[in-house]
Structure 1
Amino acid sequence: MGLKYLWVSGVIIVFLQLITGSFGWGQHGHYVVCKIAEGYLSENATAAVKELLPASAEGDLANVCSWADLWAIRTHYYWSRALHYVDTPDFRCNYDYSRDCHDSAGRKNRCVTGAINNYTLQLTSACHNPAFKSRYNLTEALMFLSHFVGDVHQPLHCGFLGDLGGNRIHLHWYHRKANLHHVWDTEIIDTALKKFYSSDLNIMIESLQKNLTENWSNYIDSWEECDANRTVCPNPYASESVSLACKYAYKNATPGSVLGDDYFLSRLPVVEKTTGSSRDSLSRRPKPCIRFLRVDL
């Protein structure tokens, strides 16, 4: 399956401030993920996506991939907060849907993998049966799905219950106070932008696209696969993420520690590879009638 989707809290061109930290990938990650994925949509898929997008997106899916993180959305859709993550028992580096997919009140299926299944089902149901188009808000379904597929690939959205996916691990990122979740949401990406990409997001995107066609081309077939030819397979995504959380995110990141070049340079390749490969989860070729997600590869 490969490492997918690590960056995901992009920029929505709307009017409210994006809240980072406990809310998902940082400002640039979601945008990068969806921008790369858009490049692999077929002509019909692109037209269908634009038909579903709100006017505020200006025809660009990447502009609404962090919509679900906006404070106004978090407040108005309070019920959706549990859908951004799925945490495992402390120090359990494996994911189990029946054990882990629930909210803090124990209600089943209320987690990021459950949400991905739900919104995929809404979109596919409307595809197969026009009567479902009036039952579901397909614009919201598309925006939630695009966001949550991103979130599930951020390792600390599949972290440990005890520290709330790293939110309770307070430390320093170089000289600034931060928590570990925020480091993975925002700081690694923003530091890379400044150090290696002249603070230009377009240069970063071009670099990742080049890696997809050159350095990572051997991984693409495995990244595109889902068991039983399913449209999405969030359980393997979550399993991969908690494994990465144990191997990379939590390692050497204890409360009060200072994370600097050693941590940054050793984790950045994980982030970049997952960001580039994330386009496969969003632009996977499913059954033919799902036009808005189909790609020509």
Structure 2
Amino acid sequence: MTQETHLVPMQGGGHVALHRYKPAKPVGLPVVVAHGTLSNQLAVEHLGSFLAEQGFDTWLLEWGGHGHAKPAHRKQNFEYPALNDLPAAIDFIVQYTGFEQLHWTSHSGGGLLALMLLARQPQRLAQIKTLSLIGAQVTDAAPNLKEKMRVAALGTLTRLFGRTPRKLVPIGPEGEPTLLLVQWCKWNLSGRWKGTDGFDYLEALKQINVPSLVIAGGRDEVAPTKGCRRIYEALGGPKTWHECTVKQGFSKDFSHSQMIRGEAAKTEVFPLLHRFIQAA
């Protein structure tokens, strides 16, 4: 297997980073693995390595100032990387590999970015063979007063600092370098996923009709099952749902990070993705 890194510039400034794991004889279409907020390629390297071991030409995407990537500007919100970073990455991969389509696999916010792009630019559906979302939600992280206060404080401090320091939300390997989480907090406090111009993302998901896999963790406080299920039900289909809980036959109720790291993820969650992509 060979590894290579590409820094791909964006029209509005900054660049994304693409880390490629290429098997000697790749099978099928390229597979993109996108990390979530407060993260970088290190968060999803176990998943990326697993998929490459199965023979897939795997590309780990770093977006919006994470890891080796550089954001276009520090004031960008959650919608900005969806509509700028992702197109740059997708177009580079299809041009570089010669394939017209790819598989999109993602954790947390990396899935939200793909959904926002496809909702706004449905013509890009032709570039996506399958869509896999692990722990992705945007409306249900503040179900009670205590959580509402926590999410509101996170949004306020992010706006105050101009970024989200890792110590405020120590769930990933780094902080969030932009104002991105201000918008995420607003969506979860209101329970509505709407753009700055009023665009209703949840309503627009019905036009996303590529095969989709949605995976939720039974003990995921960042992406509660209810929020993941809301996205699943809004998608146009065909679609598949998995809830990683003891009740559903898994070894434990998985947390947000346990679905992408550790032996249980490798033996119980990653094979779900492999079979889904392979069957497409």
Of structures 1 and 2, the one with the larger relative CO (CA 8 A, separation 6+) is 1
Question: Which has the larger share of strand?
Answer: 2
TM norm structure 1: 0.31
Instruction: Name the TM-score, length of structure 2 as normaliser.
Output: 0.32
